[in-house]
């Protein structure tokens, strides 16, 4: 028994339908903690170099952290990871809900999915009983529909994660859905499950999670919940969740509009959190052990559709970025992609890219099979998303992701795709936000905001300035990803200012160990170097050229609060120089052999030297 852990890793071979349990060793628990750190370690060690992401040799890792499923507020995260079919590099993506707790109650800390089944299957875990079952009856069904169907067939006690038709059809930004509206959205992990013919995972557990000092944890948790509920930020965040940031993003000129052609939205009052509450709100919803409950169930009367959300990223990418009229259009698009099983960020980006090509006359109504892909045309957007999920007509091209689609279409269209490393931008424009842009450029999964959200620093330190921004992003990339190691949500820290030290205290009360902030930041540095090493191993020529911003950021913003702002190559070089210096990487952005050894990755250094990826 190791405090904080269920105790076992479940290895599932989908080719042979065999399963085996491996013990979590004290070394694995102490040296690698859990969550995304375990994923990075296992991915580097177990995936063959150069593996095709959609082949049976790729694996999917599903990991909890030592705080997941405990009393600790918002200990509600589970992390999925694999080699991404969208980017060709490292991807992990976390989801909230309830499944992380159920997995630990079944005595499991991680599942490793290997091989590929010949027929559709789902994994059913009920404490020590594990079966790979026929899923032919669910194949072809929507993500949310499948979850309801499995709950009906297995019982409400089961927690279920599913893929939809997009995952089955290997759409490269297919996601995994759980608890109706929680997604591990980014990087196409759903497509990897589809390639393995794994439709769903259902889990039910009844065992306790061992905790070193349960009384101490109870007292600490009670005081932190009191703190959360008495902060000035609590009423607003628990009411509006991330939608509250919509007005602010509009006012400072970072909201994406018409595929990042503008950064202020004339209809923002029709898509913000306040309008959502007035028009479509049904009730609040929260994840496991969460006092904030930042999510919302909504119902659009106009489209007769129920959905969880929309949250800000969906409002930005499927609302203002597509020129949609109101929150009702965003809600129906949100419901569509949830059930099709596609990442709402990359789905929005694919539609926005298509609409810009239509606007510019590069693709026509005929190319889109009769769809008029004009800004704000919700009917065309919905039909186009269905074409993508089914890989029909031009949908097959866009199912490869916006960047790959541009390369297929040609005609210089790559410059209209807003991405880094093949992963589409989240909903924050960076014409006048260099630190945020650097965060996208250097995130270890591609352009994702959660690794380092640095717009506030851009505003306080100067929006045109690159000075000190490398260090800012370096610091944020140490703290934020630790949340996905521990298995907790970042919002109590980010939105209501629970001190980071309280997380360290909770970790020590749960595990009985003596972790320190300093030690955890050093650990975080090791994990960040490891994911960088994975990219270095997997991608020929990886380095500075892969850390570049989208071409659009070099063009002047035509209007709004950031009118005239643009990025220059000099700024980009300054940002990367400062950032690489902070990490003590070389000028090309590669970890040196010495640096890897210094952070405890000696065998990785040796491996990269042997492969000729770095010099000794």
Say if residues 585 and 592 touch (Cβ distance below 8 Å).
yes
Between 116 and 498, CB nearer to ligand SF4: 498
Say if residues 65 and 484 touch (Cβ distance below 8 Å).
yes
Between 24 and 63, CB nearer to ligand SF4: 63
Between 5 and 72, CB nearer to ligand SF4: 72
The least distance separating ligand SF4 from the CB of residue 316, rounded to whole angstroms, comes to 17
Binding interface with ligand SF4 (CB under 6 A): 74, 76, 96, 286-287, 290, 292-295, 489, 491
| Dist. CA 405–CA 409, nearest whole Å | 6
Say if residues 255 and 264 touch (Cβ distance below 8 Å).
yes
The least distance separating ligand SF4 from the CB of residue 182, rounded to whole angstroms, comes to 8
The least distance separating ligand SF4 from the CB of residue 117, rounded to whole angstroms, comes to 32
Between 286 and 422, CB nearer to ligand SF4: 286
The least distance separating ligand SF4 from the CB of residue 76, rounded to whole angstroms, comes to 4
The least distance separating ligand SF4 from the CB of residue 295, rounded to whole angstroms, comes to 5
Say if residues 112 and 10 touch (Cβ distance below 8 Å).
yes
For 321, the token pair is 């970025």
Between 121 and 489, CB nearer to ligand SF4: 489
| Dist. CA 351–CA 370, nearest whole Å | 15
Between 29 and 294, CB nearer to ligand SF4: 294
Closest CA to 252 of 268, 276, 231: 268
| Dist. CA 41–CA 47, nearest whole Å | 10
Burial class (CB in 10 A: 0-12, 13-18, 19+), 188: buried
Q: What's the per-residue H, E or C state across 171-226?
A: CCCECEEECCCEEECHHHHHHHHHHCCEEEEEEECCCCCCCCCHHHHHHHHHHHHH
Between 167 and 286, CB nearer to ligand SF4: 286
The least distance separating ligand SF4 from the CB of residue 202, rounded to whole angstroms, comes to 21
Q: What's the per-residue H, E or C state across 278-327?
A: HHCEEEEECCCCCCCCCEEEEEECCCCEEEECCCHHHHHHHCHHHCCCCH
The least distance separating ligand SF4 from the CB of residue 496, rounded to whole angstroms, comes to 9
Say if residues 136 and 154 touch (Cβ distance below 8 Å).
no
Say if residues 511 and 212 touch (Cβ distance below 8 Å).
yes
| Dist. CA 341–CA 234, nearest whole Å | 32
Between 71 and 192, CB nearer to ligand SF4: 71
The least distance separating ligand SF4 from the CB of residue 137, rounded to whole angstroms, comes to 31
The least distance separating ligand SF4 from the CB of residue 490, rounded to whole angstroms, comes to 8
CA triplet 373, 377, 379: central angle to 5 degrees? 100
Between 169 and 221, CB nearer to ligand SF4: 221
């Amino acid at each position: 028994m190791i405090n904080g852990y269920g105790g076992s890793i479940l290895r599932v071979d989908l080719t042979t339908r065999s399963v085996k349990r491996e013990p979590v060793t004290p070394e694995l628990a102490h040296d690698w903690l859990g969550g995304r750190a375990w994923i990075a370690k296992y991915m580097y060690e177990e995936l063959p170099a150069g593996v095709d992401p959609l082949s049976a040799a790729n694996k999917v890792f599903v990991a909890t952290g030592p705080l997941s499923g405990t009393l600790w507020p918002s200990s509600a995260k589970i992390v999925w990871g694999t080699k991404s079919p969208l980017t060709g590099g490292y991807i992990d993506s976390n989801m909230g809900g309830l499944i992380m707790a159920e997995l630990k109650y079944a005595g499991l800390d991680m599942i490793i999915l290997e091989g590929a089944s010949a027929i559709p299957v789902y994994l059913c875990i009920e404490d020590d009983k594990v079966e790979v079952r026929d899923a032919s009856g669910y194949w072809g069904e929507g993500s949310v529909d499948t979850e309801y169907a499995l709950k009906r067939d297995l019982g409400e006690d089961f927690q279920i994660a599913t893929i939809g038709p997009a995952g089955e059809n290997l759409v490269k930004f297919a996601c995994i859905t759980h608890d109706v509206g929680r997604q591990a959205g980014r990087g196409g992990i759903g497509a990897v499950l589809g390639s393995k013919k794994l439709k769903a995972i259902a889990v039910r557990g009844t065992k306790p999670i061992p905790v070193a000092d349960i009384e101490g944890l109870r007292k600490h948790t009670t005081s932190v919940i009191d703190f959360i509920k008495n902060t000035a930020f609590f009423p607003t965040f628990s009411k509006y969740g991330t939608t509250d940031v919509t007005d602010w993003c509009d006012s400072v000129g970072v909201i994406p509009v018409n595929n990042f052609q503008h950064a202020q939205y004339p209809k923002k009052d029709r898509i913000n959190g306040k309008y959502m509450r007035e028009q479509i709100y049904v009730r609040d919803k929260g994840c496991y052990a969460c006092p904030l409950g930042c999510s919302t169930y909504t119902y659009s009367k106009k489209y007769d559709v129920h959905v969880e959300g929309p949250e800000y990223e969906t409002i930005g990418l499927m609302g203002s970025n597509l020129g949609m009229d109101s929150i009702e259009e965003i809600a129906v698009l949100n419901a569509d992609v949830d059930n099709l099983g596609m990442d709402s960020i990359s789905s929005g980006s694919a539609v926005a890219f298509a609409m810009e090509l239509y606007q510019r006359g590069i693709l026509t109504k005929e190319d889109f099979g009769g769809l008029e892909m004009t800004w704000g045309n919700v009917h065309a957007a919905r039909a186009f998303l269905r074409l993508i999920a089914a890989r029909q007509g031009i949908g097959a091209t866009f199912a490869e992701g916006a960047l790959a689609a541009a390369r297929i279409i040609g005609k210089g269209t790559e410059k209209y795709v807003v991405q880094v490393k093949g992963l589409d931008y989240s909903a924050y424009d960076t014409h006048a936000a260099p630190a945020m842009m650097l965060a996208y450029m250097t995130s270890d999964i591609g352009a994702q905001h959660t690794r380092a959200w640095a717009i506030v620093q851009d505003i306080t330190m100067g929006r045109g300035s690159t000075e000190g921004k490398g260090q800012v992003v370096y610091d944020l990339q140490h703290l934020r990803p630790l949340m996905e190691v521990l298995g907790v949500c970042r919002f109590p820290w980010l939105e209501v200012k629970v001190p980071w030290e309280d997380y360290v205290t909770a970790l020590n009360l749960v595990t009985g160990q003596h972790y320190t902030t300093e030690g955890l930041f050093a650990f975080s540095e090791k994990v960040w170097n490891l994911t960088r090493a994975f990219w270095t191993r997997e991608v020929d020529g990886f380095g500075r050229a892969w850390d570049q911003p989208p071409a659009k950021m070099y063009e002047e913003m035509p209007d709004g609060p950031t009118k005239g702002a643009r990025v220059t190559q000099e700024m980009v070089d300054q940002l990367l120089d400062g950032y690489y210096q902070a990490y003590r990487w070389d000028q090309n952005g590669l970890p040196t052999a010495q640096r890897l050894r210094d952070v405890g990755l000696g065998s990785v250094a040796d491996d990269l030297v042997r492969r000729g990826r770095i010099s000794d």
